[in-house]
Structure formats: C-alpha cells, structure tokens
Amino acid sequence: MRPLKGFAFPMACLIAAILAAGCAGPSADRKKEADARMRMGVTYLDQRNVPMAMKELTKASELDPGNAEIDMALGIAYQARGDMSKAEEYLRRAIDKRPDYADARNNLGIVLAGRKAWNEAIREFEAAAANVMYTTPERAYFNLGEVYRAKGDPEKADRAYRRAMRANEQYAPAYISLSTVLGGQGNWNEAASVLTRCVEVLPDYAACWMELGRADLRLSRPAEALKAFDKVLAVSSDPELRKQAAGYVTVLGSEKR
C-alpha cells in the first residue's frame, strides 16, 4: 500500500525538515551515531529503499529513544511500507515528545484520513497549519481541503484550498483541486479562472493546462481548449498526459476543418 492518494505526502520536504532539525541524545557518542543512522535512513527513504531505511532508523531509535525526529522518520518509513497502524504509533510518539511538531501532525493527519477518521485528521491538519514555525502550511491546508472534499463539504474544501494558494501561490495541487470542486458545483467559469491563474503562475505545469483545456471544452470554447492542449504537448514529457492531450488535439483539429 502506498501513501494515501490525493493527500500531500511531501517526502523530500519532510526529509529535509528531519535533517535540519538535528538530534538531541543522551550522550555525545550515541547522539552522533544516532544522527548518522537517521541521516542514512532518510537517504534510503528518499531512494525508496524502505527495508534499509527501516534498519537504520530502528537502530537510531535504539540509540536515542527520546528523539522525536527519529520517530517522525520511522512514521514516514511505515507509511511508505503500508503499515499505517505502526506509522500512526510512531507519529504520535513524535508529537508526544514535541507537541508543536507540525510535519508530524500533517503526516498523522494523512494516516487518520486514510482510515476515514475525518474529525481527528482535521484537527491535526489545522494544528499543523496554525503553527507559525511550519514552513509549508500550504500542504496542511491542501490536505484539509482533501478531507472536506472527501466528506462532501465543498464550501469548506474551497476555503482550505484557497488558504493553501494564499500561503504559497505556486502550490499547483491546490489550484487543480479547487477547480475540481468548482466544476463539481457547475461553476466552470470560475474553475477556468482558477486554472488560468495557475498557468500564469506556473506556465510549464502541464496538469493545469490539461484541466484548463477540459474546462474550456465545458464552456464551449474549443479554440481556447485547443491552445491549452497544444501547450500540454509543448511542456509535458509524461507519456500518458501527452497521449490524452494529443487525442483532444486530433478531435478538435478535425472539427476545425
């Protein structure tokens, strides 16, 4: 099992946060070895080598059992492994040791959302986003929006996605999810406006161009849609995305003739 699809699981960002946080250990020698093993473990995680990551992080935890960053890394490792029960256990351990640990709260929210513990997940995402020291609050706001969308509350999802965009205007997933919510309510004009802003901010983000093209089709704007799909072909190297865009271009091109 992979991390829950749709939620922001920022592996690279979280690894950077773990490495930046450092270790607090019982003795200098044990601290040094635990730190080295933790760093090796998160490097293995970054390489998707989960067994080796688990080996290094487990040893690091034995050396420095009071270290919240190691618990956080083990939580991520268990997420990657698909063992959400153990992931939740280690993430809660990290939060018990550091109640203001926003990255751990964001990840715990993802785990809780995976078992549809919606209200608990919402509390964790809100706590993470409210932490003024959290460097990526847009991820927590986005995840909050995903929970509200899953719960069938488009108004609160809309607000959460917009807060993610305000926190970081270059956070593309929020634009796409917001446009999906707006489209689901039949508000395709506003959905297209959101996606237009996305491609203004991120002109090489192919997924936004693809969704903009689809929104233009909904609005009976084939010429604009064709331009959007052509742009997908210009900026994307993803085979599946290119295949979809090429299909639209072929159909729209034949209709022009």
Which residue ranges form the domains of the chain, and what is each CATH number? 1-168 (1.25.40.10), 173-257 (1.25.40.10)
What six digits make up the tokens of 214?
């689809």
Burial class, 192, CB count within 10 angstroms (exposed 0-12 / middle 13-18 / buried 19+): buried
CB burial of 70-108 (b: ≥16 within 10 Å; e: otherwise) equals bbbbbbbbbbbbeebebbbebbbbbbebbeebbbbbbbb
- pLDDT 10s digit of each residue in the chain, 257 long? 334 456 665 555 555 555 555 444 467 889 899 999 999 999 999 999 999 999 999 999 999 999 999 999 999 999 999 999 999 999 999 999 999 999 999 999 999 999 999 999 999 999 999 999 999 999 999 999 999 999 999 999 999 999 999 999 999 999 999 999 999 999 999 999 999 999 999 999 999 999 999 999 999 999 999 999 999 999 999 999 999 999 999 999 776 65
- The secondary structure of 58-84 as a DSSP string is HHHHHH-TT-HHHHHHHHHHHHHHT-H
| Residues 207, 49: Cα–Cα separation, whole Å | 28
Contact between 181 and 154 under an 8 Å Cβ cutoff? The reply is yes
Tokens read off for 21: 């946080």
pLDDT given at position 27: 76
Amino acid identity of residue 168, one-letter, is N
Planar angle of CA 147, 108, 145, nearest 5 degrees: 20
Q: pTM here?
A: 0.85
